[in-house]
Amino acid sequence: MTNSGGGRPPDLDQVRQMLFPDLPEEEGWARIEQAISGAADPARWAAIEHIASDSARLAAIERLAAASLSDDLLLRLNELREEHNGDSDTPH
């Protein structure tokens, strides 16, 4: 495997390819950088927390995403919801 991605480690380039398999390399990296920048925005975090606290909306998002997300990721989303709802003591 070549070290593409502008000197980034091959593992990171593999993640980019998994996230954006149909995009050109530079566009994939641009989207990742945008996401990282957005993650530092307090207003975006507040919006995400608002959505996460709405069980019906979160369930709808999960139903839409289920067609393309792996089972492991969906399991982790469910665990995070349980933790958010105070059910983290529930055995899995």
Specify the pLDDT at position 88: 47
What's the pLDDT tens digit per position in 13-71? 999 999 999 999 999 999 999 888 877 888 888 888 888 888 888 788 777 777 666 77
CA-nearest of 35, 40, 38, 12 to 25 is 12
- pLDDT value of position 67: 64
Rounded CA gap, 51 and 36, in Å?
19
> What pLDDT was estimated at residue 29?
94
